[in-house]
C-alpha cells in the first residue's frame, strides 16, 4: 500500500483523485488531506477516508473543524493548521505519493517540498511549475523524485513518449509536440462581445468540469499558455517545438510527432479520472471509473490554428516563455490577480490580458536562479497588477 497525501483534496482534482482511489483500497492509503477553507467537504472526506492528518490552512476555519472532528469521535486524526503544515505533510516519511492539486502559487512551496523529499509527485498544480521552472525541475532531478503529469495534455504526451521515458529529459526522436486545446466557451463568440462576458459564462466550460480559476484560464486560453510553458519544462523542449492545436471535441488530449513521421495521440473521454488513474497506477494501469470512449459517437474531429487576436493571453504566455528568467513568474502572478479581480466583478473579461501585459512591461527578464528571486518576483508582480486593477476600477 502506498501512502498518499492530497494537497487541495477538496477541489475538483482532489475529489476526482479520491474517487479513483476508492476503487483501489488495496493500492493506496490516504495519509493526509488538505484544504484551504472548505471544512465541510474536508470533514466528509475525513469520515470516509480516515487520514492520519488533516490540514486546514485558514486558522479560523480550523477551530470549528477541530470541534467537528471531536464531536464525531474522529480524534485519531491529527489536525494541522496554516500554510507551513502543507509542506510538513507533503514530506512525511509514510507518504510515497503527493497529489499536487492546490490551485495557483499557494501550491508552490508544498509541491516543491514533495519534490525535494523525493516523493512521486503527481502534478496538477501547473502554476507551481510555471513560476519556479528550472528550480523545480532541478529539485526533482537532485532528489530522484518521479514527476508525473496530471494535466490531461501533459499526461497524454507522457503516455505517447517512448517506453522508460522520464520527465525532464528530451526524447530525441520526438520532433514536435501537438498540444491540443478545446478553445473554451468563447472559441466562436464574436470578439466584440467578449467584453460583456460574465464570470458565470466564463466558468461554464463546454467539455471539462473544473475549478473556477482554471475555467477562466481556459476561456482566455491562458491555460494553454501556462501549459505550453509546463510542456517546455516537463519534456525539455523549446517553445518552437510545440504547436497549439484547437480541437473542439476534446477527444485527443495531445500528440507527439516523431522523426519517422509517426504521430502518436492519446484519446479518451474528457474526464480527469483518466490521467489521474494513469499516473497513480504508473507504470501499470488500473480502472478509473471513466466510461469507455464510444468512437462512433465522436464521428468527427476538427483541428484549427489558435487565433492570437482572439486569445491575447496565449500570445503573452509565448512572450513570457521566450523572454525567460522571471517572466513566466510575472505572467502567472499577474494572471492570478487579474482572474481573481474578474471573478469578483472588479474588471471585465477583456481587461485580463491588458493587466497582464502592463504588468509584464514593468519587469525585465532577470535570471531566476533562486527560490528567493522567484518569490520576490511573484510578490512584486502581484503588487503591480493589484494597483492596475485598482486604477481600472476608478
Ligand atoms: P479547485 O479550485 O477546484 O480546488 C483548489 C484546491 O486548492 C482546493 O482544495 C482548495 O482548498 C485548495 N486551495 C486553494 N487556495 C489555497 C491556498 N491559498 N492554500 C492552500 N490550499 C488552497 O481547483 P482545481 O480545478 O481542482 O485545480 C487544481 C489545480 O489543478 C490547478 O492548478 C489547475 O490548474 C490544475 N488542473 C485542474 C484540472 C481540472 O480538471 N480541474 C485539469 C488540469 C489541471
Ligand atoms: Mg490541461
Q: Span 2-149: which CATH code?
A: 3.40.50.720
Q: Is 354 exposed, middle or buried (0-12, 13-18, 19+ CB in 10 A)?
A: middle
Q: How do the domains of the chain map onto residue ranges?
A: 2-149, 185-220+309-394
pLDDT higher than 80, residue 169: yes
Spacing, Cα 223 to ligand 1 middle (Å): 13
Q: With both helix axes pointing from N to C terminus, report the angle between 222-235 and 312-323 in degrees, rounded to the nearest 10.
A: 30
Does 42 sit in the ligand 1 pocket, CB within 6 Å?
no
Q: Would you state the pLDDT for residue 207?
A: 84
Which residue, judged by its Cα, is nearest atom 43 of ligand 1?
151
Q: Is the CB of 327 under 6 A from ligand 1?
A: no
**Lowest-pLDDT choice from 99-113, 128-142, 203-217, 257-271:** 203-217
In ligand 1, which atom is closest to the CA atom of 214?
34
**Is residue 30 within 8 Å of 6, Cβ to Cβ?**
yes
Tell which one of 5, 11, 212 to mutate to probe ligand 1, the residue whose CB is within 8 A of the most ligand atoms.
11
Q: In angstroms, how far is the first alpha carbon of the chain from the final one?
A: 56
User: Does residue 339 have its Cβ closer than 6 Å to ligand 1?
Assistant: no
Task: Report residue 53's pLDDT band, with 50, 70 and 90 as the boundaries.
Answer: very high
Protein residue closest via CA to atom 2 of ligand 1 = 211
Predicted local confidence at residue 260, as pLDDT: 98
Looking at all shown ligands, the one closest to residue 39's CA atom is: 1
pLDDT at 394: 74
Atom nearest to 110 CA in ligand 1: 20
Distance 340 CA to ligand 2 centre (A): 20
Label residue 205 by pLDDT band (50, 70, 90). Answer: confident
270 lines ligand 1 (CB under 6 A): no
Q: Is the CB of 125 under 6 A from ligand 1?
A: yes
Question: Residue 206: is its pLDDT beyond 90?
Answer: no
Fold classified for 185-220+309-394? Rna Polymerase Sigma Factor; Chain: A (1.10.1740)
**Ligand index nearest the alpha carbon of residue 221:** 2
Tens of pLDDT, residues 235-279:
999 999 999 999 999 999 999 999 999 999 999 999 999 999 999
- Quote the CA–CA distance of 189 and 393 in Å, as a whole number: 26
Which has the higher per-residue pLDDT, 394 or 39? 39
Select from 103, 180, 271 the residue to mutate for testing ligand 1; criterion: most ligand atoms less than 8 Å from CB.
103
CA 387–ligand 2 middle distance (angstroms): 30
- Ligand 1: residue of 41, 122, 124 to mutate (most ligand atoms within 8 A of CB) is 124
Distance 104 CA to ligand 1 centre (A): 7
The three cell numbers locating residue 1: 500500500
pLDDT band at 155 (very low <50, low <70, confident <90, very high): very high
Distance (Å) of CA 102 to CA 7, 120, 136: 6, 16, 16
Ligand lying closest to the C-alpha of residue 215: 1
Q: How far is the CA of 5 from the centre of ligand 2 (A)?
A: 22
**Tens-place pLDDT, residues 338-366:** 999 999 999 999 999 999 999 999 999 98
pLDDT at residue 137, rounded to an integer: 98
For position 26, what pLDDT does the model report?
97
Confidence at 178, pLDDT banded by 50, 70, 90: very high
Give residue 227 CA to ligand 2 midpoint distance, Å.
7
> How far is the centre of ligand 1, averaged over its atoms, from the C-alpha of 151 (Å)?
12
Cα(159)–Cα(172) distance, integer angstroms: 16
Average pLDDT over residues 196-211: 93
DSSP assignment string, 153-165: HHHHHHHHSPTT-
Amino acid at each position: 500500500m502506498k501512502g498518499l497525501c492530497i494537497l487541495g483534496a477538496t477541489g475538483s482534482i482532489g475529489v476526482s483523485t479520491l474517487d479513483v482511489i476508492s476503487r483501489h483500497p488495496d493500492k493506496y492509503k490516504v495519509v493526509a488531506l488538505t484544504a484551504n477553507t472548505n471544512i465541510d467537504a474536508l470533514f466528509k472526506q475525513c469520515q470516509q477516508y480516515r487520514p492520519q492528518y488533516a490540514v486546514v490552512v485558514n486558522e479560523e476555519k480550523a477551530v470549528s473543524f477541530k470541534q467537528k472532528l471531536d464531536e464525531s469521535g474522529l480524534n485519531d486524526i491529527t489536525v494541522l493548521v496554516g500554510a507551513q503544515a502543507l509542506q510538513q505533510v507533503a514530506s512525511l516519511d509514510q507518504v510515497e505519493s503527493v497529489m499536487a492539486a492546490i490551485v495557483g502559487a499557494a501550491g508552490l512551496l508544498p509541491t516543491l517540498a514533495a519534490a525535494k523529499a523525493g516523493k512521486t509527485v503527481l502534478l496538477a498544480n501547473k502554476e507551481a511549475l510555471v513560476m519556479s521552472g528550472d528550480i523545480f525541475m532541478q529539485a526533482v532531478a537532485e532528489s530522484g523524485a518521479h514527476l508525473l503529469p496530471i494535466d490531461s495534455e501533459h499526461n497524454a504526451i507522457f503516455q505517447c513518449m517512448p517506453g522508460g521515458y522520464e520527465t525532464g529529459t528530451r526524447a530525441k526522436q520526438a520532433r514536435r509536440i501537438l498540444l491540443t486545446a478545446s478553445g473554451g466557451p468563447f472559441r466562436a463568440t464574436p470578439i466584440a462581445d467578449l467584453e460583456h462576458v460574465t464570470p458565470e459564462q466564463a466558468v461554464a466550460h463546454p467539455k471539462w468540469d473544473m475549478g473556477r480559476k482554471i475555467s477562466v484560464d481556459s476561456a482566455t486560453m491562458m491555460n494553454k499558455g501556462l501549459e505550453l510553458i509546463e510542456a517546455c519544462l516537463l519534456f525539455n523542449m523549446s517553445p518552437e517545438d510545440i504547436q497549439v492545436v484547437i480541437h473542439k471535441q476534446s477527444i485527443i488530449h495531445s500528440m507527439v510527432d516523431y522523426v519517422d513521421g509517426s504521430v502518436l495521440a492519446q484519446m479518451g473521454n474528457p474526464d480527469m479520472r483518466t490521467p489521474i488513474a494513469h499516473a497513480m497506477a504508473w507504470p501499470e494501469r488500473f480502472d478509473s471509473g471513466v466510461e469507455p470512449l464510444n468512437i462512433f459517437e465522436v464521428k468527427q474531429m476538427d483541428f484549427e490554428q489558435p487565433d492570437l487576436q482572439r486569445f491575447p493571453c496565449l500570445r503573452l504566455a509565448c512572450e513570457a516563455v521566450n523572454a525567460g528568467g522571471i517572466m513566466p513568474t510575472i505572467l502567472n502572478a499577474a494572471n492570478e490577480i487579474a482572474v481573481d479581480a474578474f471573478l469578483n466583478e472588479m474588471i471585465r473579461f477583456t481587461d485580463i490580458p491588458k493587466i497582464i501585459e502592463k504588468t509584464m512591461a514593468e519587469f525585465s527578464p532577470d535570471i531566476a536562479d533562486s527560490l528567493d528571486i522567484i518569490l520576490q518576483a511573484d510578490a512584486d508582480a502581484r503588487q503591480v497588477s493589484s494597483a492596475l486593477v485598482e486604477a481600472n476600477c476608478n
